[in-house]
Amino acid sequence: MENFDYKINDTQKLGLEIIKEASFDDRLMTLSVGPQHPGSGHFRFVIKIDGDYIVFCDPDPGYVHRGEEKMAEYRTYIQNIPHLERPVIHDSTNITYSYSLAVEELLGIAVPRRGQFIRAIASEFNRQIYTLYWLAIYGIFLGHSTMFMWPAGDRELFIDLMEALTGARVTHAFNIPGGVRNDIPNGFKERCLRQVSYFEKRLNEYEDIFYNNPLFRQRTEKVGILTKEDAIKLGVTGSVLRASGIPYDIRKVEPYDVYDEIDFKVQYLKTCDSFARSYVPFLDMKESCYIIKQLLDKMPESGDVRTKLQSNVKGQSGESYKRVESGRGALGYYVVSDGSPKPYRVKISVGSFRNILALPHLLVGSKLGDMPAIYWSLNYWPVEADR
Amino acid sequence: MISKISENLDKWNSRQFITTLNDDNISQNKKSDNLKKFPKEISSIVGDSKIQTSKTESSLLFENSVIFKISSKFDSKIVVEFVKPSRIKIRVDPANIIEIAKFLNHELGFDHAESVTGTDYPKDNQIEVIYHLGSYLRDDLAHLVLSLTTRTDRDEARLPSLLPVYGSVEYHEREIFEMLGVYFDGHPRNERFLLPEDWADIPPLRKEFHIKGR
Amino acid sequence: MVTVPKKFGFGSFVSSILWLVFWIVVIVTLVGLPLIFIILFYVPLPYIGDEVLTPYLFFSMMVDPTRTIPIIKFLIHTDIFRVMVFPGFGYAAIIAAVTIFVERKFLAKMQLRVGPYYVGRWEGILQLMADGLKLISKEIIVPSGADKLLFWLAPVLFVATAAAVTALIPVAPGGWVVADIDVGLIAVFAILGFFPLIALLFSWASNSKYPFIGGLRALHQMVAFEIPFILSALSVVLVAGTLNLTEIVESQYLYWFIIIAPISAFVFYISSLAELERIPFDLPEAESEIVAGWITETSGMLYGLIQLGTYLKLYALAALFVILFLGGWTGPQIFPEEIIPGYTGEKIYNHIVINGIFWFTLKTFGMIILFLLPRGISPRIRIDILLHTGWYKLIVLCFINIFAVLTLIYGGIIPTGGILQ
C-alpha cells in the first residue's frame, strides 16, 4: 500500500477546496430565536450554533417599539402617565414613579408624607407582581411547569391588593406628580398584612420545590458567568448586577421619598452565575415583604396623599434625571422642560435595555441548552427595552 | 465611605474659588474658543439650577469637589451647566470628549454609563447627546450621576463614539443613531436597532418629525 | 343555495314514511334476502357449543339472552378480538385516554389549579374528545421542501410501532396476550429501538432546523439510554431464566423481582422516562430551546397521532415495568367464583382472569402515575448532563445489581436458572 501513488487531479482539488469551505459553513447553523419562538418573548436574537455550542449571537429588539418617548412630547405632564406605564404593565407603579419624581422636581412641588408612604407600598407590591411573573416564566423556560403555575397564582394576592388600592388590576396609573391618586381603603392594612404573611410562607415552598431542586441547580450553577468586571463594563443593573457581587440598589444608594427611613438589606450574591441571577430577585421578594410591613407600620394615620396641581401646569425650564429601583434594576427618567405644559424631551432609561447587552457576552461559548437559563436570568422585559 | 467624603470635603474647603462655581459667570470666564459656537440661549432652556430648593448650597460640597477635580485637569475644556444634589452636568467639546471620558472613567471612578440620551434643539440647530455616568465600585460616588454632554451640528451630526471608554454605550449609541441620526465615529454598527426594518423616514426623535394627526 | 322547507302537513308526513317503508321492503326483498341466502350457501356456519349457529338459533337469542354467551365467548377468543380490543389496541388506547385525563387533573391538583373543567358534565371528562375533534378539524400543513411520503408516514409509523409494543404485553393468566413469543423481552426492546429512528426520519423529512436538532437529540438520548435500559432487564432475566414475558410473570408467584433487583428497577424507571421523552428528559421536545423539537412541523391530526403513540408507549413501558418487577397480574384473589350467587347456568366469567386483569391494570396505573409525577416537580435536564447520567451512572448501577443477582444465584440462595425449575 505504501507504493500506491496517490495523485489528486485538478478537478478533485477544486472539489476538496469547495468541500473545505462548504464544510466550515455547514458546521454552523443559524437559528432565528424569536419573536415566535416560545423561548424568547417579544424579542428576537439570531444565534449560530456549532454542534451544541453557540458561537454567535445578535440581539434584535424592536418588535414592540411604540415610540413612548416621542408620544410623551405631545402630551401634557399628567396626560403622559397612562401611556408611560405601558412598557411594563406588571411594574407600572415603578415606571411612573421615577417620572413623577422627575416632574415634581421640574414643577417644584413636594409630596405629602402619607402620599410618599402609599407610593412606596404600591411600588413594593408592583415589584412583587413583576418578580413573580418573571419567576413564573423562568420556571417554564426551564421546563418546570409547577413553578409557572404557583407564582402566576400567587401574583393574584398582590394584584387583588393593588385593585383594592387603585381600582385597576394591572395598569394602575397610580403615581402622579404630586402624590398618588387616592387614599387607601378601609381595612387595607389588616388585609395587606394577612396576605403578605401568607405569601412569605409560600416563598419557602418555592425555595423547596425550585431553588433547592438538584436538577435546577445543575442547570443554572456555573452557567453564564458574568464576572464583576464584565458586569461593570457592560453597565448591567438590578438583580444581574447584584448577582455579580456588587451591592448596588438605588433604594439604598440614593434613597427617594421614604426609603431612607426603612431598614432593609441590599441582597447580593457573589457567584455571578445564572443561579445567582435567578436567586437575587427571590431574595428581593423576601426583603420586599419585610419592607411592606415596615411601611405599613410607619405610615402616618391621616393626612393628604397628594398636592393638588393646576390643570396644564407649566414647569420651569430645566432638566431632571431621577432614578428608582424597579423590578429590573435602575429605572431613570430624563425629562427636559422648556416652560410649556408639555415636556420638551422624555427619555426612559430602563434596566432591560442595559441588561440585554450582556446577552451576546454570555451566550457566545455556552451550550444551546443553557440559552433559556441565561436569557431569562438577565431579568429582561422586551417591551420595556423597546419602549 | 464617610471617611472618603470627609477627605473630599477637606480638599474642597482648602479651595477658595469653588464657592463661586454655582454662578453662571464662572463658566463663561472659562469658555475656550472652541466652545464659543454654543449659543448663549441654551442656558435659558437647560441649565437652570434654581429648581432645586430642598437642599441648600452648602450641601453641594461633594458635588463641587468632584467638579473641582475635573476642572483642575481640563480647565478650559469643560463648561459646568449646573450642580444639583447628586447631579452634575458638564458640557464638553466633541473633540475632547474621549479624553475627558477616559479621565472620568479611569481616574475619577465613573465606571459605567447608565444611559445615553439625545435631544434635538432645532432653535440652535444642534443635537445634544448626554452620557449619564455613574459609579458602581465607589460607594461615595454611587448616588452621583454625572451628565457628560456634548453638542453636534444638526445638519451633519457626527460625534466620536465613547464605546472604547464605556462598553455599556453600545446599544444606546445605536439607538441614538437611528432615532436622531447622529453618526458615531468609531462605533462598529451604526445600523437600525429598534425601528422597523422598512423604516424610510427621517429619524423620528427629531423635532420636525411629527406624529400623525398632531 | 338555500332550501326552503315546505310547510308541514301531517298527511304528507305520513305518506313520506309510507314511501320510505315501501322502498325498504322492496330493497330487502330484491337484494337483501338473496344476499343472505348466497352467504349462507357458501359460508360454513360456526359451531357454538354443539349447535350450528343457524339463523333460527340467532333469532331465538332475542327470547333467551343467555344463549348469546357462547357467541360472545367464541368472539372473544378470536385473534381479531385480541388484536383490536383486548388486550391489544383497544385496551391500550382506553388506558392512554384515561392517562391523558388523569395527567391533566393530577398535574392541575399539584399546581393548585382546576384543570379541565367545562367540557362534559363532570370535571371536564370530555375534554379529550373535544381536543381530538379540534385536532381532526385542523388543517395539516406540510412544509415546503418536505419529503411528503415520510412526512405523512412517520406519525402513522409512530402509532403502529407503539401499538406493536403493546401487542407483546401479557395482561392476564391463560394466554391473554396478542403475541406470546419466546423472545418477548428482546422483541420489546427491538421495537422500542424504532422510535428514535422514526423521530430522526420525521425531523429530516420536515426540512426545518428545529426539528432537525430535536431528531439528533432524540438519537443521542436513545443511544445513551438504550444500554442501561436493556441491562436493567438483564438481572430479571437471570433470575427468571426466560425471555418470555408470560413466564417472567409466572416465575414471580413467590415474590416480586423488585425485592432482589431494586437498583435495576430504579434504572429501568429512569431510562423509561428518557425513552418516553418525558420531563425531566424531554430534550427532543424542549420548547424553550428548540420550539417543539422534532414535532415542530406537525399540525392537526399528525400531531394527534404522535400524541396517541406517545401515550400508548407510556402504557407499554409502565406495563413492562409491572411485568418485570412488580409481578404482573399476581395478587390476592378478591373476586368470587360466581358473580351471581346461586347461578348454575353457563359460566359467565373466569374469576382468575378477571382478578389478573384487575391487579395488572391497578399496578400499571400506579406506574403511570409515577411516570407522570416528575413533570410536576422537576425542571428539564441539560443534554450533556443527560448523556453523562446515561453513560456513566446508570450503566454502573445496572452492573452492580447484575453482580448482586449473580452472587445470589451462585451462592445458592435463589435457584439457578429461575424459579420455575
pLDDT for the residue numbered B9: 45
Question: Is A252 inside any structural domain?
Answer: yes
Question: Is C6 inside any structural domain?
Answer: no
Residue C91, domain extent: 83-410
Number of domains in chain A: 1
Q: Are C133 and C120 in contact (CB under 8 A)?
A: no
Question: Is C377 inside any structural domain?
Answer: yes
Give yes or no for residue B54 having a pLDDT over 60.
Answer: no
Mean pLDDT of B105-111: 85
Confidence band for A21, pLDDT divided at 50, 70 and 90: low
Min Cα distance C153 → chain A (Å) is 27
C-alpha closest to that of B43 among B202, B140, B168, B151: B151
Which cell numbers hold the place of B171? 446599544
Q: Which of residues 292-321 of C touch A (CB under 8 A)?
A: none
Question: Is A16 inside any structural domain?
Answer: no
Nearest by CB to B112, from A74, A110, A235: name it: A235
Of the listed ranges A90-104, B52-66, C382-396, the least confidently predicted one is B52-66
Query: Residues of C with CB below 8 A from A139's CB?
Result: 379
Contact assignment for C382 to A213 by CB distance below 8 Å: no
pLDDT for the residue numbered B49: 40
Of the listed ranges A88-102, B186-200, C355-369, the least confidently predicted one is B186-200
Tens digits of residue pLDDT in A255-274: 888 888 888 888 888 888 88
Choose the CATH number for B2-156 among 1.10.1760, 3.30.1480, 1.10.3470, 3.30.460: 3.30.460
Cβ-based neighbour number of residue C74 at 10 Å: 15
ipTM: 0.83
- C150 φ, ψ (degrees, to nearest 5): -65, -35
C-alpha closest to that of B77 among B95, B61, B63: B95
Q: Which of residues 94-133 of B touch A (CB under 8 A)?
A: 111-115, 117, 119-120, 130, 132
Contact assignment for A241 to B136 by CB distance below 8 Å: yes
C380 at A interface, C-beta within 8 A: yes
Q: Which of residues 150-169 of B touch A (CB under 8 A)?
A: 166-169
Q: Are B113 and B173 in contact (CB under 8 A)?
A: no
Confidence band for A1, pLDDT divided at 50, 70 and 90: very low
Mean pLDDT of A201-224: 88
Question: Is C16 inside any structural domain?
Answer: no
Cα A253 off chain centre by: 19
A-C CB pairs within 8 A amount to 88
Q: Omega before B160 cis (within 30°)?
A: no
Q: At what angle do helices C209-240 and C301-325 cross, to 10 degrees?
A: 20
Q: Are B128 and B119 in contact (CB under 8 A)?
A: yes
Question: Is C8 inside any structural domain?
Answer: no
Q: Are C202 and C294 in contact (CB under 8 A)?
A: yes
Cα C256 off chain centre by: 23
Residue A251, domain extent: 58-386
List the subunits that have 3+ CB pairs under 8 angstroms with A.
B, C
pLDDT for the residue numbered A17: 67
Residue, of C157 and A41, whose pLDDT is higher: C157
C-alpha closest to that of A256 among A323, A172, A317: A323
Sole residue written with cell 404593565 = A89
Question: Is A189 inside any structural domain?
Answer: yes
Tens digits of residue pLDDT in C31-56: 999 998 888 788 777 776 677 777 77
Residues with Cβ within 8 Å of A339's Cβ and at least 6 positions away in sequence, in order, are: A314, A315, A316, A317
Nearest by CB to A143, from C111, C282, C290: name it: C282
Give yes or no for residue C271 having a pLDDT over 60.
Answer: yes
**First-residue to last-residue Cα distance in chain B:** 51
Is the whole-model pTM more than 0.90? Answer: no
Q: Which of residues 182-221 of C touch A (CB under 8 A)?
A: 209-210, 213
Question: Is A5 inside any structural domain?
Answer: no
Contact assignment for C210 to A31 by CB distance below 8 Å: yes
CA dihedral C258, C264, C266, C270 (to 10 degrees): -140
CB-based burial label for C240 (10 Å; 0-12, 13-18, 19+):
buried
Touch of B by C (3+ CB pairs closer than 8 Å): no
Q: Are C169 and C316 in contact (CB under 8 A)?
A: yes
| Mean pLDDT of all residues belonging to chain C | 85
Number of domains in chain C: 1
Question: What CATH number did the domain enclosing A306 receive?
Answer: 1.10.645.10
